[in-house]
Structure 1
Amino acid sequence: MFEYELSQTRSAELRAAAEHDRLVREALRVRRAARRTEAYEAARGEASAQGGTDARSHSRRPRRHRFARAA
Structure 2
Amino acid sequence: MFAYELHRTAHAELVREAAAQRLGREAARAAKAARRTGRHEPEGRVSTGKDRYTTVA
**What TM-score, normalized to structure 1?**
0.57
Distance 2:10 2:40 in 1: 45
Distance 1:42 1:14 in 2: 43
Offset from partner CA, 1:10-29 (integer Å, 9 cap, x none) = 00000000000000110011
Q: For 1:26, which of 23, 28, 50 is the aligned residue?
A: 23
4+ aligned runs moved over 6 Å, structure 1 = none
Distance 1:7 1:42 in 2: 53
* Structure 1: runs of 5+ lacking an equivalent: 50-71
Q: CA RMSD in A?
A: 1.9
Q: Which has the bigger relative contact order, CA under 8 A and spacing at least 6?
A: 1
Q: How many residues align?
A: 45
